[in-house]
């Protein structure tokens, strides 16, 4: 495996998006983006956002841990 393949593994995780969060909360992505804002155009955070954010973070962490395992395996293989 070369550098490009290794970085493809690292960059292969999908970021968590406003659309992901909106789907889980039953809201529109625009509403989620506005809830992150401050100022007169901001919206309040949707009710029940805390466990949804935690679940999405855990899923993302699992994906990152899988990439770490792949890259460590690659490093061992390259070292012989």
Contact by Cβ (8 Å): 59, 21:
no
The residue ranges of every structural domain in the chain are: 3-79
pLDDT of residue 2: 65
Assign 78 a pLDDT band (cuts: 50, 70, 90): confident
- pTM, two decimal places: 0.73
Task: Report the sign of the C-alpha dihedral through residues 26, 27, 33, 35, in that order.
Answer: negative
Residue 65: predicted pLDDT:
92
């Amino acid at each position: 495996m070369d550098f490009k393949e290794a970085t493809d593994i690292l960059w292969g995780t999908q970021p968590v998006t406003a659309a992901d969060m909106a789907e889980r909360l039953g809201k529109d992505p625009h509403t989620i983006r506005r809830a992150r804002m401050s100022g007169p155009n901001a919206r309040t955070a949707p009710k029940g956002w805390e466990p949804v954010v935690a679940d999405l973070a855990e899923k993302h962490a699992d994906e990152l841990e899988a990439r770490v395992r792949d890259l460590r395996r690659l490093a061992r293989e390259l070292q012989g």
